[in-house]
Amino acid sequence: MPGQRTHFEIYGDDPKALADFYATLFGWELEKVEGLEYWRILADPGDRSRVAGGLTYRPRSDPRGWLQFLDVESLDESIAMAERMGATVVRPKTAIPRTAWVAVLADPAGNMFAIWQTDPTAFPMPEPD
């Protein structure tokens, strides 16, 4: 549903240590994705299908806080509307393969948030190799 939070991400220079920190603090289960430096946060270990968020290395556009992801119907339209109202694009539209399109914006006050458009056909354009 548009405007609803889909998940959040936490960033750090040592994500494994940070994963241990949150696991201890909140009793979360953090599951490392095989072959990737990304931990899925299972806030309710009883329901493994519900991923509350993720934890990974710090991105270049570092929000210095948890990044919240909000659902939108159209990523392109949401980016355009936000820009008209004074927002800036921190990370351009990117594909999460076979899952969603995502972009990171900063509101006119500089607060960062991510928008998320579910799309099982999402895929980045390959570049000449």
Partner 1 sequence: MYYTDDSILPENMAPLIITAAPYGPAWLPGDAADIPLTWDEQVQAAVDCYEAGATVLHFHVRNPATGMGSTNFDDYNYLLRRVKEAVPDMIIQVGGSISFAPHTAEAKAAWLDYDTRHMLAELDPKPEFVTVTTGTSLWDIASAFTAEDVKGTHMEDPKVQAAWQGMVVDSTPAFYVEHIKRLTKNGIQPYFVPGHIHQWDLIDHLIRAGIYKGPLNLALCGYGGGTLWRNPFDWMHFLQRLPQGAVTTFWSSMRGLISLSAMSLVLGQHIRVGNEDNLWGADGTRKTTVEQIKGVVRLSKEFGRKVATAEEARKIMKVGTWYDTVEETLQKNGMAPNPTRFNPGFLIWPTDGKLKPAVVGGDSHPIAACMIAPEPVRAAQAALLAGKA
Could you tell me how many residues of this chain bind partner 1 (CB under 8 A)? 18
- 51 belongs to the binding site for partner 1 (CB under 8 A): no
| Shortest separation between residue 69's beta carbon and partner 1, angstroms | 15
Task: Work out which of 12, 31, 32, 38 binds partner 1, going by CB under 8 A.
Answer: 38
Distance (Å) of CA 62 to CA 15, 31, 66, 88, 104: 14, 23, 10, 14, 11
Nearer to partner 1, 3 or 128 (CB): 128
Q: Tokens standing for 86?
A: 């004074």
Q: Tokens standing for 61?
A: 């556009």
Nearest to 66 by CA among 117, 126, 22: 22
Q: Which of residues 77-96 bind partner 1 (CB under 8 A)?
A: 94-96
| Shortest separation between residue 27's beta carbon and partner 1, angstroms | 27
Residues that bind partner 1 (CB under 8 A): 33-36, 38, 94-98, 121, 123-129
